[in-house]
Amino acid sequence: MKTIELFAFDLDGTLLDTAPDFLYAVNILRERYQIDEADYDQVRSRVSQGAASLASYALDLEGESAQKIESRRQELLDIYEDCCLKHTDIFDGIEEVLTKLNSKKIKWGIVTNKPRRFAEGIVENKLGRFKVPFLICPDDVGARKPEPEGLIHALEISHSIPKNSIYIGDHKIDITAGERANMLTGAAAYGYIPLNDNVATWDSGYIFKEAREIISLIDDN
């Protein structure tokens, strides 16, 4: 088995369980518009699809104009900014994964679609003790996954070879981005998988049902 020199991770639904704070924000938004509380599973399944998907679900905006959805997306994000550290925590097993990577001096970092406005503070608060080597956001590269620019930048700054590097995420777009960057890919099946989606159809190189399963891949190095 080839040595993996770089482990790159998605953030929401892969390293951090941010869904409880998105649920909190969605319910505040729904309360403003006199709508009953949201279903947690519906919110959880949409986190990795972005704030527009969450806002559309929260206010039943399917079929509405892009302008209206964007306005409500911004409203939701303003709420989220005030509560994004309320309930968020690392997934079970991630502490062991990151500790193992650091102890073996294996390169790793984060490539996320989350704007730096949110990601930087959350990463520092929840993952700062692991001394995250790099955090790459759409703001940094001018593109969002599934476009590969963020991963290509990660490969460049870490001086890593694509075929010897892996990207792990909990959405099909993560796998697509990894493939476009010519990297190995891993599906975080414990994350925010969209309802009625099937991780087995993503054609990822690896499927991790629990975060701890990533450790076996590290140990093979």
| Residue 195 burial by Cβ neighbours in a 10 Å radius (0-12, 13-18, 19+) | exposed
Task: Using alpha carbons, select from 20, 57, 47, 22 the residue that is nearest to residue 191.
Answer: 47
Is there a catalytic annotation at residue 89?
Answer: no
Please answer whether residues 56 and 44 qualify as being in contact, where contact means their C-beta atoms are separated by less than 8 angstroms. no
Question: Which one from 10, 17, 21, 174 is the annotated catalytic residue?
Answer: 10
Tokens 């088995």 belong to residue: 1
What single-letter DSSP state applies at residue 107? E
Question: Which one from 12, 17, 21, 174 is the annotated catalytic residue?
Answer: 12
Tokens 């960057």 belong to residue: 181
Is there a catalytic annotation at residue 36?
Answer: no
Sign of CA dihedral 37, 41, 47, 50: negative
In angstroms, the CA 126 to CA 64 distance is 36
Catalytic sites, residue numbers = 10, 12
